[in-house]
């Protein structure tokens, strides 16, 4: 069953067309990876799905609702969760309080239900021992985990991850892959933008390549990576 459908969506900033007629379907529980050069439009695509930005043309459907005109909060309530490429936690609040915001406002729970959900989410993301630390004092891996926990606490059916592994050590990337595999195993669909390709390949069912705001190619991950188009345009190799 299809969960998300983008129908010919486009977005321009002035004369610059950033997303140029993208159509895409994501199935319930599917994990889709997205790669593409810097500035290709990947984060803008997430902004269009999550509602931070409105498309100029085309429609966005989620769970058979037309969500094209909905605000980000309404899309969150319908089950779309996201992380940001540049994490922006409430630095003066504790880790627990940050996740509680997602659990109570995002998932529409009472404070008591929200508290339980926040604690459970901290446990799942390995942050429970740091629940009382100030978010602003966390090292990078924990800031990434907090970004993940904040999104997860909204109980999404689809999670958008924007370069969540960037800047981490190999060992830390391994820990993050395990967390994301666990999220998938619980039935949450994942769309993951990442430049660290081996991390993506460990998780995703399908890989999509975006270049100049268009879908360059998509398919089985290993085949997409081996294709001449990707070698040439994404990796910069000379064929």
- Interaction of residue 83 with Mg ion, rule CB under 5 A: no
Which of 3, 9, 43, 173 is in the footprint of ligand ATP by CB under 6 A? Answer: 43
The site for Mg ion, by CB under 5 A, has a size of 3
With both helix axes pointing from N to C terminus, report the angle between 111-124 and 140-152 in degrees, rounded to the nearest 10: 140
**Under 8 Å between Cβ of 78 and 24:** no
Q: Which stretch binds ligand ATP (CB under 6 A): 38-46, 101-109, 110-118, 169-177?
A: 38-46
Q: Shortest Cβ distance from residue 206 to Mg ion (Å)?
A: 19
Q: Least Å distance between CB 39 and ligand ATP?
A: 4
Task: Report the nearest approach of ligand ATP to the CB of residue 111 (Å).
Answer: 35
Nearest to 180 by CA among 199, 157, 208: 199
Alpha helix (H) residue ranges in the chain: 42-50, 72-78, 95-101, 111-124, 140-152, 170-185, 197-201, 221-226, 228-229
Q: How far apart are CA 62 and CA 104, in angstroms?
A: 22
Please list, residue by residue across 191-217, b when 16 or more beta carbons sit within 10 angstroms of its beta carbon and e when fewer do: bbbbebbebbbbbbebbbbbbebbbbb
47 interacts with Mg ion by CB under 5 A: no
C-beta nearest to Mg ion: residue: 43
Count residues binding ligand ATP (CB under 6 A): 11
- Using CA atoms, how far apart are residues 49 and 43, in angstroms rounded to an integer? 10
Which among 111, 123, 112, 49 is positioned nearest to 80, based on CA atoms? 49
Residues 6+ apart with CB under 8 A from 37: 211, 233, 234
The backbone torsions φ and ψ at residue 177, rounded to the nearest 5 degrees and listed phi first, read -60, -45
Q: Which does 9 bind (CB under 5 to 8 A by kind): ligand ATP, Mg ion, none?
A: none
Among 31, 44, 118, 204, binds ligand ATP (CB under 6 A): 44
Q: Which is nearer to ligand ATP, 103 or 224 (CB)?
A: 224
Mark residues 120-149: x for contact with ligand ATP by CB under 6 A, - for none: ------------------------------
| Residue 136 binding result from ligand ATP, Mg ion, none, given CB thresholds of 5 to 8 Å by partner type | none
**41 contact choice in ligand ATP, Mg ion, none (CB below 5 to 8 Å, kind-dependent):** ligand ATP
156, 72 Cβ separation under 8 angstroms: no
User: Is residue 43 near Mg ion by the rule CB under 5 A?
Assistant: yes
Residues lying near Mg ion in the complex (CB under 5 A) are found at 42-43, 85
Which residue ranges make up the site for ligand ATP (CB under 6 A)?
Answer: 13, 18, 36, 38-44, 85
């Amino acid at each position: 069953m299809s969960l998300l459908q983008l129908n010919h969506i486009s977005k321009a900033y002035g004369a610059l067309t950033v997303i140029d007629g993208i159509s895409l379907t994501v199935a319930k529980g599917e994990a889709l990876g997205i790669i593409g050069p810097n500035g290709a439009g990947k984060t803008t695509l997430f902004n269009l799905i999550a509602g931070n930005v409105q498309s100029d043309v085309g429609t966005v459907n989620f769970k058979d609702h037309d969500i094209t005109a909905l605000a980000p909060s309404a899309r969150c309530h319908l089950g779309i969760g996201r992380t940001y490429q540049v994490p922006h936690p409430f630095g003066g609040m504790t880790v627990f309080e940050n996740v509680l915001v997602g659990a109570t406002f995002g998932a529409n729970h009472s404070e008591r239900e929200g508290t339980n959900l926040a604690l459970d989410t901290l446990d799942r993301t390995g942050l429970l021992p740091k629940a009382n630390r100030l978010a602003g004092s966390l090292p990078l891996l924990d800031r990434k985990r907090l970004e993940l926990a904040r999104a997860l606490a909204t109980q999404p059916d689809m999670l958008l991850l924007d370069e969540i592994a960037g800047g981490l050590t190999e060992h830390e990337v391994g820990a993050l892959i395990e967390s994301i595999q666990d999220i998938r195993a619980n039935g949450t669909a994942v769309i993951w933008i990442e430049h660290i390709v081996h991390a993506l390949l460990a998780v995703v069912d399908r890989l999509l390549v975006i270049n100049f705001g268009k879908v360059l190619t998509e398919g089985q991950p290993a085949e997409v990576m081996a294709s001449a188009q990707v070698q040439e345009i994404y990796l910069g190799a000379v064929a």
